[in-house]
Amino acid sequence: MEMTVKLQVFEGPLDLLLHLLEKNKVNIYDIPIVEITNQYMEYIAEMKRQDLNVVSEFLVMAATLIDIKSRMLLPAPETEDEEEEDPRAELVQQLLEYKMYKCMAYELRDRQMDAERVLFKEPTIPPEVAEYEEPVNMEELVSDVTLARLNEIFKSIMKKQVDKIDPIRSKFGKIEKEEVSLSDKMAYLENYCLTHSRFSFRSLLEAQAGKMEIIVTFLAILELMKTGKIFISQEHTFDDILIQSKIVA
């Protein structure tokens, strides 16, 4: 009959080493490397029978322990000036750091468990406190206010308002968009040409209401020239341009 032994689960090789040190009640700075290595190897042997997938990290530590064990069994070289280095020093440092982080993890876990048992109440203000308004004594508030002081305050406020005004932009007029379409202006010119077979380009533009109308009128003249409905002529340079209509009623 086979007897199944359930091994304690360790988070890694350093966790197993700490367990062995605590179990044997030995000083972490003076590890009995031979005894600890033997116990460690017994645990590894049992682990290999149960789960080979998690044993690789433990085997690396086992090799490290055997290396330390062999160096401690060999006679140390005789040196006069240099102090003999303890083969266990690096392992001790790793164990101390791991133990520190493990203690920190336990502390954080305990704090999390304590926090789960704490309930917080949203801050609220009683209605009587929220509605309270500190009384104002008007006599005390205006006790040092005179007509001269009020006049100074008024002038100061008015000066600030004047300072806000841009001396340049404030003189600009209101810009309004002129709705003038090219098709409407072309229709206007065609009707105009029915009653004016020959007319002045300058006079036509001067009769327009604004800049936008002048621009659109000029574009309309170009469109009518393109279609051959009007043509222009000029006797001399800088003379007035004359428009001749070809539109017949």
**Position 99 in a domain:** yes
For 145-202, how does the pLDDT look when each residue is reduced to its tens digit (9 = 90+)? 676 776 777 777 777 777 777 666 666 666 666 677 888 888 888 888 888 888 888 8
Query: Both tokens of residue 49?
Result: 């029978």
Cα–Cα distance for residue pair 191/73, rounded to 1 Å: 121
Rounded to the nearest 5°, which phi and psi values hold at 117? Answer: -95, 5
Cα–Cα distance for residue pair 201/241, rounded to 1 Å: 5
Please give the mean pLDDT across all residues of the chain.
77
pLDDT of 247 > 70? The answer is yes
More confident of the two residues 157 and 97: 97
pLDDT of 134 > 60? The answer is yes
* 111 and 186 both lie in a single domain: no
Instruction: Show the domain range for 19.
Output: 13-74+87-116
Cα–Cα distance for residue pair 99/97, rounded to 1 Å: 5
- With bands split at pLDDT 50, 70 and 90, how would you rate the model's confidence at 3? very low
**Position 124 in a domain:** no
For 62-92, how does the pLDDT look when each residue is reduced to its tens digit (9 = 90+)? 888 888 888 887 776 665 556 667 788 888 8
The sign one gets for the Cα dihedral 249, 191, 246, 220 is negative
pLDDT of residue 178: 60
DSSP state of 232: E
Q: CA geometry: angle at 182 spanning 177 and 186, to 5°?
A: 135
Tally of domains within the chain: 2
Quickly tell me which residue has 């490290």 as its tokens: 64
> Which ranges in 80-238 belong to alpha helices (H)?
89-116, 127-130, 138-141, 147-163, 182-195, 201-206, 211-226
pLDDT of residue 212: 82
Do the beta carbons of residue 28 and residue 95 sit within 8 Å? yes
pLDDT of residue 4: 38
What is the CATH classification number for the domain harbouring 203? 1.10.10.580
pLDDT of residue 2: 37
Q: Can you tell me the mean pLDDT for 19-48?
A: 82
